[in-house]
Amino acid sequence: MSQYHIPVMADTCLQLLNLRAGGLYVDATLGGGGHALAMYQKQPEIRLYAFDQDTQAIDEARKVLADYDPVLINANFRQLRTALAYNKVKGIDGILFDLGVSSHQLDCTERGFSFDRDAPLDMRMDTGQAFSAAELVNSYDVQALSKIFKDYGEENAAGRIARAIDKERAKGEIRSTAQLARVIETVAGTGSKESLKTKVRIFQAIRIAVNDELGVLSYALSDAINLLNPGGRIVVMSYHSLEDRIVKNTFRMAATGCICPPAMIHCVCDHKKQLKILNTKPLSASETETKENTRSRSAKLRAAEKLMGEQ
């Protein structure tokens, strides 16, 4: 089976989504359609809207879901509210986010997401987007690169690697993944586990920045919560500590009522509680699944339910 078709923690996602016949659901990260197919197999009588900014994913999902009738939307989930409104959808009964890069994107050499295959330095999830990893690496100054590596990769050698990139690009543009990996190795060394982790962190940081993954996530989560019908569920799987932190904090804020300082006698913030958190600690994949699907190892799943009325 293609890597496109291996949905992470599918049974847990379906249980938490609590699918109902006739309900309207959103798969915000369609990929090759693995989770969407599982949703239909669990409850064939749902209505499903599915988003993906990657045209290759949309094409693959169309084949996988050929026996069903989803509305496939080729767009980033930043456009969630707008695209659903265009389709005359005002409320939804559940939404699933499976964040990060797909196994297919990593395995597709020419997309440039992986450092262990030589390819153009690309990393765009939306191939129609103009801004690529090559432009970021070759145009951002040392301070900006260092901040990206530190903030998005949590890399201790961020400054040294940024300066090494600056030194290399003075000779000519850095255009390939292998070339960038060699530059990182001038700081991190080669052959060690720590060297490998450093390359993972730097490539991850660049990918997050190129696709504005964290900024888009905060925006989309807020829209999703507002779109949920009473009793509707939001389920989010993340694979990076920064993503999980955003999900946790967004859920926590939406599950909190008054946020006025304790000294205030009367509430003036008008902040209403919207969610009930279903699991206070993130759920992880089982040992069996992590052996069968390596992508599931770092998955953290959080879920919440829309309250019957803002409180």
Residue 115 and residue 203 in contact, taking contact as beta carbons nearer than 8 Å? yes
pLDDT greater than 60 at residue 63: yes
Find the mean pLDDT for residues 92-102: 89
Residue 292 CA neighbour count, 13 Å, CB half = 11
Find the mean pLDDT for residues 132-137: 96
Q: What is the pLDDT of residue 114?
A: 76
Find the mean pLDDT for residues 27-52: 96
Share of the chain above pLDDT 90, in %: 75
Residue 165 and residue 149 in contact, taking contact as beta carbons nearer than 8 Å? no
Interstrand relation of 24-27 and 47-51 (parallel, antiparallel or unpaired): parallel
Find the mean pLDDT for residues 265-270: 74
More confident position, 17 or 270:
17
> For residue 276, what are the contacts with CB-CB under 8 A and spacing of at least 6?
255, 304, 305, 307
Q: What is the pLDDT of residue 189?
A: 93
Are 3-104+213-306 and 130-210 equal in CATH topology?
Answer: no
Which range is most confident: 145-149, 262-266, 286-290? Answer: 145-149
Between the alpha carbon of residue 1 and those of residues 6, 36, 54, 237, 251, the distances in Å are: 8, 16, 20, 22, 35
Lowest-confidence segment of 43-47, 243-247, 268-272 by average pLDDT: 268-272
More confident position, 108 or 78:
78
pLDDT greater than 90 at residue 253: yes
Q: Which fold has domain 3-104+213-306?
A: Rossmann fold (3.40.50)
Reported as a pLDDT band with limits 50, 70 and 90, residue 2 is: very low
The separation between CA 34 and the C-alpha centre of its own chain, rounded to angstroms, equals 16
Q: What is the pLDDT of residue 1?
A: 39
Interstrand relation of 300-306 and 275-277 (parallel, antiparallel or unpaired): antiparallel
Q: Summarize pLDDT for 135-157 with one digit per residue, the tens.
A: 999 999 999 999 999 999 999 99
Which one is the CATH code of 130-210: 3.10.150, 1.20.120, 1.10.150, 1.10.3120?
A: 1.10.150
Distance CA 155, CA 157 (A): 6
Distance CA 102, CA 274 (A): 31
Find the mean pLDDT for residues 168-183: 95
Reported as a pLDDT band with limits 50, 70 and 90, residue 271 is: confident
Q: Nearest-CA neighbor of 13 among 243, 279, 293?
A: 279
Between the alpha carbon of residue 237 and those of residues 46, 228, 234, 240, 275, the distances in Å are: 21, 18, 10, 10, 17
Reported as a pLDDT band with limits 50, 70 and 90, residue 199 is: very high
Reported as a pLDDT band with limits 50, 70 and 90, residue 99 is: very high
- The mean predicted confidence, pLDDT, of the chain is 91
pTM: 0.87
Domain extents for the chain?
3-104+213-306, 130-210
Q: Summarize pLDDT for 234-251 with one digit per residue, the tens.
A: 999 999 899 999 999 999
